[in-house]
Amino acid sequence: MSNGDEPLLPLDAVKAAEARANPLRRLAGLLTSQRVRKLLRLTRVRIVSQAFFFSAFLFFCWATWTTRMEGYPVSRILEFDPLVMISTMLSTGYVYRYLGWGLLVIALTLLFGRVFCNWICPYGTLHQFIGWVFDIYKGKQSFERNRYRDLYHFKYGLLIVFLIMSWMGALQIGLLDPICLMYRSVATVFAPAADMALSEVQNAGVHAAWLDNLKFAPGVPRRVFVGSFWIGVLITALVGANVVIPRFFCRVLCPLGALLGAISRFSLFRINRDVHACTDCNLCLTRCEGAADPQGAVRVSECFSCMNCIDDCPEDALSFSMVGLDTKQVKPAPELGRRRLVFSGILGVLAYPFIKNHGTNTDENFKGALMRPPGSVEEHEFLEKCIKCDQCINACPTNVLQPATWEEGGLESLWTPVMNFDIAHCQLKCNACSEVCPTGAIKKITVEEKMGRGEFEEAGPIVLGTAFFDRGRCLPHAMEIPCVVCEEVCPTSPKAIQTEDVEVKDAFGKLVVLNKPYMVPDLCIGCGLCQAECPVKDERAVYVTAVGESRSRDRRLLLKDRSRES
């Protein structure tokens, strides 16, 4: 406001004087006053919008918890991600539940270009914010950094690779889709870190109830996420790259941005430069988020519609307006030559067999550790649907859901949810993960369906796996020491873990009654509570593996359920 005294509109003062007479006019006057106008310009509203969606995102992450969820649309930001919609539609042929919301963003893009990137996307907001905080560049340096570089076509190639893979049946967009990446990082890295910090405050002696309310996961033991270090490394590296190239991720890698960029070539509105007013001062580049060359032929597909250039133009030569896409004045399409297009296509086609024949989670070489949350569809179908957003992991109240590491299922399953019963168990009457899954990899189920009651009596309960005893490690079996925690906690009725009561003389000649546990596989639902509670803490004496899971016919264990025979 150093030179704010200089009125932008000459009639302003007169109008203001008139307005004072009438309250309605006063409001109108207020709206037309210089200060308010400055406040209400698009760049300011953009920040409000970004703050709104970023807080909505954080709120949704916070509300993704068993006691808070209620009816909040906690996965809605994923559900209006059009890349999720399009890629799952390619891989499965259908549009699940709320994924049609993606059309909203597509429609928005067709109207205003990539507004999603700079007005809505929480990851874009994070990048912009971090970029701004560490932006020390002034003068020429600052706008040289925002010139278009050839590197920025890379995202389109990546998008083509991802889309071809999806179409063939290997959905990998979740690795880099900004919304998935953001949800995943919050769920497995930032949420536990924040909870850790709040716990330290509590340890320091502050016991106020609101501290618990702030936590992402209140009232449970500390949550750990196997392999989340690498998720943290990835997001930190990507966000940190802002220091080198502003909005590195958005400009170079973001497949969603590429998709929206490809669509935005048809957009109604775009940044328009009045070449007669323009003095070629390049000031519009100072804060150009997308590196869209507003100083020359505007690259519509790169422009984030952040409106910064309009603010920065001393000649008012730039405007966001509904004008044609004359190729002499603008470059509407992404800069991706035919060669690169073909290369990406070849890569995409190659990537599919590479990934599929890696053979870590196919029926030919199925690993017992690859246990999916309740309601999950059959593994092949699961991999066509899971976008690795890890919302289920965030929702899980027991911490049993873990991002899969390379070991469980290779790249294809990387960061998809698996159950680790060494850490915790699957809560019997909980369907939180299925409620939040945006793509139906975990089909929405009710508790009734999970437990196989009521109208699901015929289908029986959802079975996640089958428990087995390692009798060489089990205290009563191997060492004549009473235990049976597993039987005590077994939640089915009747219990799937039964005991055989034997009186023996132990090594010290003492007569003890041992309740030696054994499995009734027909009743076991694979909830893992026995494994989680087994006192043999490292290699558990009772453990669950995926065989017998009800989502797959191929991995069935029992020919028939003896408990259902009359």
Partner 1 sequence: MAKKVRPRRKNPVFNDFGRRKLLRKSIPTVEIGASLACLAFLVVAGGWTLSQRDNYDPGERDLDIALLDTEPKQLYTRPLARWRDPSQPIAETRLDIAPFPDELVEGGWAPASRVQTFTNDNLYEKINGQAEQYVKFGFRELSFLILEEPSGESVDLFLYDQARFENALGLFAEQRGSKPLLTRGDLLYTPTGIGAIGMLGHHVFHLIGSGANDVVMSKTEQVLDSLSGLAEASPAPAPFKVLTQGLGLPLDRVHYTPINAFQLGFAQRFWFGRTTDEGTSRVFVHWAESDDAASTMFQKLHDAQQGELELVTPGESERHYRHAFLGTHYALGVAGPLVYGLEDHPDPDQAVTEVARLKEIVTTSELGVRPGVPSSPSVVPTPAPPAPVASQSDESEGDYGDYGEEEG
Partner 2 sequence: MSREPTDGPDKPIQHPEYEKSPMDRRTFLRRIASATGLVGTTGYLSLAPEDWPFSLKDRTGLRSIPKIRPFRLTDFQVAKPSPSHPDVAVGRGGSPTEMLRKALDTLGGLQHYVKPGDIVLVKPNAAFDRAPALGATTQPELLEGLVRMLLVDCRAQEVRVADNPIESPPDCFEKTGIRRAAEKGGGRVYLPDSNAFKVLNTPGAKLIENWPFFHRPFLNVDKVIGLTLVKDHNLCHASMGIKNWYGLLGGVRNQFHQDINEIISDLAIMMKPTLTVLDGTRILMRNGPTGGDPSDVAPGDAVLAAVDPVAQDCWAFEHLLRRDPNDQPEYLAMAEEKGSGQRDWRGRLQEVT
Q: Running DSSP on this structure, what letter comes out for residue 186?
A: I
Q: Binding to partner 1 by residue 45, rule CB under 8 A?
A: yes
CB-wise, 49 or 492, nearer to partner 2?
A: 492
Whole-angstrom distance, CA of residue 280 vs CA of residue 92: 50
Side chain identity, residue 533: E
**CB distance 552 to 379 below 8 Å:** yes
Q: Binding to partner 1 by residue 135, rule CB under 8 A?
A: yes
DSSP assignment string, 85-146: HHHHHHHHSS--TTGGGHHHHHHHHHHHSSHIIIII-HHHHHHHHHHHHT----HHHHHHTT
User: CB within 8 A of 283, min separation 6: which ones?
Assistant: 143, 312, 313, 314
The single residue among 48, 342, 346, 481 that binds partner 1, judged by CB under 8 A, is 48
**CB distance 274 to 319 below 8 Å:** yes
CB-wise, 168 or 445, nearer to partner 1?
A: 445
Q: How far is C-alpha 69 from the geometric centre of its chain's CA atoms?
A: 17
Q: List the single partner that 65 binds among partner 1, partner 2, none, CB under 5 to 8 Å by kind.
A: partner 2
Strands 330-331 and 417-419: unpaired
Residue 363, number of CB atoms within 10 A of its CB: 11
The single residue among 212, 363, 407, 500 that binds partner 1, judged by CB under 8 A, is 500
Nearest approach, Cβ of residue 33 and partner 1 (Å): 11
Q: List the single partner that 49 binds among partner 2, partner 1, none, CB under 5 to 8 Å by kind.
A: partner 1
Nearest approach, Cβ of residue 234 and partner 1 (Å): 24
- Nearest-5° Cα angle at 525, 388 to 469: 105
End-to-end, the C-alpha distance of the chain in Å comes to 85
Q: How far is CA 119 from CA 50, 61, 304, in A?
A: 5, 19, 8
What track of x and - describes contact with partner 1 for positions 288 through 317 (by CB under 8 A)?
----------------------xxxxx-x-
Q: For every residue of 13-36, which 3-state class applies, written as one string?
A: HHHHHHHCCCHHHHHHHHHHCHHH
In 252-349, at which residue ranges do the beta strands (DSSP E only) sit?
A: 270-273, 298-299, 318-321, 330-331
CB-wise, 259 or 475, nearer to partner 2?
A: 475
Crossing angle for the helix pair 228-240 and 178-185, nearest 10 degrees?
A: 130
Q: List the single partner that 537 binds among partner 1, partner 2, none, CB under 5 to 8 Å by kind.
A: partner 2
Q: Binding to partner 1 by residue 35, rule CB under 8 A?
A: no
Nearest approach, Cβ of residue 562 and partner 2 (Å): 18
The single residue among 254, 283, 400, 485 that binds partner 1, judged by CB under 8 A, is 283
**CB distance 334 to 262 below 8 Å:** yes
Whole-angstrom distance, CA of residue 352 vs CA of residue 169: 8
Q: List the single partner that 448 binds among partner 2, partner 1, none, CB under 5 to 8 Å by kind.
A: partner 1
Nearest approach, Cβ of residue 191 and partner 1 (Å): 20
3-state secondary structure of 229: helix
Q: Binding to partner 1 by residue 481, rule CB under 8 A?
A: no
The single residue among 110, 325, 446, 480 that binds partner 1, judged by CB under 8 A, is 446
Crossing angle for the helix pair 122-133 and 42-63, nearest 10 degrees?
A: 120
Q: List the single partner that 316 binds among partner 1, partner 2, none, CB under 5 to 8 Å by kind.
A: partner 1
3-state secondary structure of 171: coil
Q: List the single partner that 40 binds among partner 1, partner 2, none, CB under 5 to 8 Å by kind.
A: partner 1
Give the binding range for partner 1 (CB under 8 A) out of 71-79, 332-340, 377-385, 417-425. 71-79
Q: Binding to partner 1 by residue 144, rule CB under 8 A?
A: no
- Nearest-5° Cα angle at 401, 398 to 404: 155
What track of x and - describes contact with partner 1 for positions 75 through 114 (by CB under 8 A)?
-x--------------------------------------
Q: List the single partner that 212 binds among partner 1, partner 2, none, CB under 5 to 8 Å by kind.
A: partner 2
The single residue among 12, 448, 470, 488 that binds partner 1, judged by CB under 8 A, is 448
Nearest approach, Cβ of residue 544 and partner 1 (Å): 21
Q: List the single partner that 310 binds among partner 2, partner 1, none, CB under 5 to 8 Å by kind.
A: partner 1
Helix locations, 241-295, DSSP H: 248, 255-264
Q: Binding to partner 1 by residue 482, rule CB under 8 A?
A: no
Q: List the single partner that 503 binds among partner 1, partner 2, none, CB under 5 to 8 Å by kind.
A: partner 1
Strands 497-505 and 511-519: antiparallel
Nearest approach, Cβ of residue 188 and partner 2 (Å): 17
Q: List the single partner that 38 binds among partner 1, partner 2, none, CB under 5 to 8 Å by kind.
A: partner 1
Structure tokens at 372: 């999916």
Q: Binding to partner 1 by residue 41, rule CB under 8 A?
A: yes
Whole-angstrom distance, CA of residue 78 vs CA of residue 179: 6
117: left (phi over 0), alpha (psi -120 to 50) or beta: alpha
Nearest approach, Cβ of residue 369 and partner 2 (Å): 22
Q: Which residues of the shown chain bind partner 2 in the complex (CB under 8 A)?
A: 65-67, 199, 202-203, 207, 209, 212, 218-222, 397-398, 424-425, 427-430, 475, 481-485, 487-495, 499, 515, 529, 533-535, 537
Residues 320-379 that bind partner 1 (CB under 8 A): none
Nearest approach, Cβ of residue 193 and partner 2 (Å): 14
**CB distance 395 to 436 below 8 Å:** yes
Footprint on this chain of partner 1 (rule: CB under 8 A): 1-3, 8-9, 31-32, 37-38, 40-42, 44-45, 48-49, 52, 56, 59, 69-73, 76, 132-136, 138-139, 283, 310-314, 316, 429-431, 435, 446-448, 451, 453-454, 457, 493-494, 498, 500-505, 511, 513, 520, 523, 563
